[in-house]
Amino acid sequence: MFTQVNGVNHHYRSLGEGPPIVLIHGLGGALDVWHGVAELLALHHHVVTLDLRGHGRTPAGRAQLSIKSWAQDVAGLMGALELPAATVVGHSMGSLIAQHMALTTPDLVDQLVLVGGISYFEPPDRQAYEQRAKAVDDNGLDDIVDDWLEGALSPRTHARLPQISGLLRHLFLSNDPKSYAKACRALAKMPSIGREQIGQPTLLLVGDHDRSTPLRMTEQLHRDIPVSRVQVIPSAAHWMTLEHPDVIAAAILQFLT
């Protein structure tokens, strides 16, 4: 399905009935990374997923890509669909969007779930995203896909479920290189978020093999967000929504009951 939000035709999916849950993907992702999680959550909830601006089937448009503009798009979609306050779930870059929404539009966010959540970047991390953007601008996505994919999934997944590795590789290469590079720069320039002011109950999920957003980031989020708890997902790396959708869905449902 498609709907106009803030001047861009946004691709989204809506399924199930019940209390609403909004799922926000991360850098280089698309709504389909939530497919398994969404199908399970939709047994008890109204689940909405979307392709963020510049990702999947949603064009980048003319506006500058940023955590703020993506958060405004998610809020705009919720308004267009007339959703009440929802559980907002964000993966990786999507976790920053979710945190931003929790602070700037608290009336839209009942609970918060951060999957592979980002707390802060040290200067070397920010520089790494700038360098990645330049590499993509200069040589395209093929130049970085193999190094990126190696750390995206756990060793167990690479060995036992090579089809997931192949599909994730395809998803990554399906990105528009220019939009991906812009998104990298938006992530490098992520705003400071006053997490101490987040009042929503928050679940923090992290994979035990996550190199992109390791446990130390989740521990920092736990220290900063007043009402939060941590759950470590075994045999999972950064793209745990593809590796263990049943475990992620079960953790969210337990959190909401």
Buried b (16+ CB within 10 A) or exposed e, 147-170: ebbeebbbeebeeeeeebbeebee
pLDDT of residue 64: 87
Closest CA to 89 of 24, 34, 28: 24
The parts of the chain modelled with pLDDT lower than 50 are none
User: Can you say whether residue 38 is alpha, beta or left, with left for phi > 0 and alpha for psi between -120 and 50 degrees?
Assistant: alpha
Gap between the Cα atoms of 7 and 200, Å rounded: 30
Question: What is the predicted pLDDT for the residue at 122?
Answer: 84
Residue 121, pLDDT score: 86
Question: Residue 148's pLDDT is what?
Answer: 96
Helix boundaries (H) for the chain: 35-41, 67-80, 93-104, 123-139, 145-152, 155-160, 162-173, 177-188, 215-224, 240-243, 245-256
Determine the Cα–Cα distance for residues 107 and 236; give it in Å rounded to an integer.
33
pLDDT recorded at residue 62:
86
> Which pLDDT score is estimated for 123?
87
pLDDT attached to residue 103: 97
> Would you state the structure tokens that stand for residue 142, as one six-digit string?
């093929």
pTM score > 0.95 for this model?
Answer: yes
Check if the beta carbon of residue 99 is closer than 8 Å to that of residue 71. no
